[in-house]
Structure 1
Amino acid sequence: MARKPKNIFVQGAISSEKIATSIQHHSEKTSIGGHSIFLGQVRADQIDGSTVKAIEYTCYEEMALQKAFEIREDIFQKYDLTCMHIYHSLGEVKTGEICLFVFTSSKHRRPAMDACDELVERIKKELPVWGKEILESSKESWKVNR
């Protein structure tokens, strides 16, 4: 049976409770020896003399979920992983809040670490999610990933 794309999107910021619960659920999986976690946080960048106070994330969900599924499948094929989780915010996320949570697990640490790193890079480069930076000056600017 073919696997279906999972919904990776969370409305607003990703809460510390969601992160902690996700980690805690893996304590019963005793074949796991290593986890790697990436947390993306909204920065208070300076743009044209004004500070970013939030980012509003949008996407075409069906396309983004399909692309996330393809990336997940590629990473599972390449690395010997036990688990992989991706959560990405949609809607407004204020500076200092978490907008991306990537969590990989494997029997040994190196596959989890390498997979997490590649997964984050591919999400940033390939996932069709756009961020509009909301500035303190009430201006808006479309975010460019660096």
Structure 2
Amino acid sequence: MERKPKNIFNQGAISPAFIADSIAKHSSKTNIGGHSIFLGQVRADLIDEKKVVAIEYTTYEELALEKMHIIREEIFAKYELTCMHVYHSLGAVASGEICLFVFTSSAHRRAAIDACNEVVERIKTELPVWGKELFEDETHQWKVNQ
């Protein structure tokens, strides 16, 4: 089945309510036996004695969506998945908030787990998405954009 490219980008953080709703929508799909979910969360790292309060995500969107479509097609060809959903934040995401949500489903758990892991690794290494740390001393700039 030929799939169309999907927009994976979300402005700002990915809300827990959105994640819960995505999971709930799959309860009617009774051919699914296993789901695997990865949630990437912004850490409050300490870099040069400055605390990270957010990450500002940017991308070359057209190229990223094209590359994600290729990854998606290759994953569907490799694993027996029922569905796959990928959402990545753009813009500022505060520490503690979710910036990446990957959700795979299959008739059996192993395909869902393996596919989810591979998708996450490929997103991190192949997608032109960049994150710039925003520090406590820069919050005045960040809060203006929120």
In the superposition, the TM-score normalised over structure 1's length comes to 0.92
Correspondence for 1:30: 30
| Alignment RMSD | 1.2
Give the Cα separation in 1 of the matches to 2:115 and 2:64: 20
Residue matched to 1:142: none
Please give the alpha-carbon distance, in whole angstroms, between the structure 2 residues aligned to 1:136 and 1:42.
14
Work out whether 1:82 is the aligned partner of 2:82.
yes
Q: Residue by residue, what CA displacement relative to the aligned partner does 1:92-137 show, whole Å, maximum 9, x if unpaired? A: 0000000000000000000000000011000001010001100113
SS at match of 1:51: strand
Q: Which amino acid in 1 is paired with 2:131?
A: G
Instruction: Tell me the percent identity.
Output: 72
Query: Does 1:107 find its partner at 2:121?
Result: no
Distance 1:34 1:4 in 2: 24
In 1, Cα distance between equivalents of 2:4 and 2:107? 25
1:143 aligns with: none
Aligned residues: 139
Q: Distance in 2 between matches of 1:40 and 1:90?
A: 13
Structure 2 residue identity aligned to 1:108: H
Alignment of 1:55-94 (within 5 A): 55-94=55-94
CA deviation after TM superposition for structure 1 residue 2, in Å: 4.5
In structure 1, C-alpha distance between the alignment counterparts of 2:2 and 2:40, rounded to whole Å: 30
Deviation at 1:60, TM superposition (A): 1.1
Give the match for residue 9 of structure 2: 9
Q: Greater share of helix residues, 1 or 2?
A: 2
1:57 maps to amino acid: Y
Provide the secondary structure at the position in 1 that maps to 2:30. Answer: coil
SS in 1 for 2:118: helix
| Shift of residue 4, structure 1, vs aligned partner | 2.2
Deviation, structure 1 residue 26? 0.5
| Cα displacement string for residues 34-84 of structure 1 (whole angstroms, at most 9, x for unaligned residues) | 000000000011111101000000011111100111111110010000010
- Provide the residue aligned with 1:49 in structure 2: 49
TM-score normalized with structure 2 length: 0.92
Query: Structure 1: 5+ residue runs without aligned partners?
Result: 140-146
Q: CA shift at 1:13, angstroms?
A: 0.2
CA shift in 2, pair 1:8/1:19, >3 Å: same
Q: Which runs of 5+ in 2 are unaligned?
A: 140-146
| 130-139 or 45-54: bigger deviation | 130-139
What's the CA shift for 1:3?
Answer: 2.9
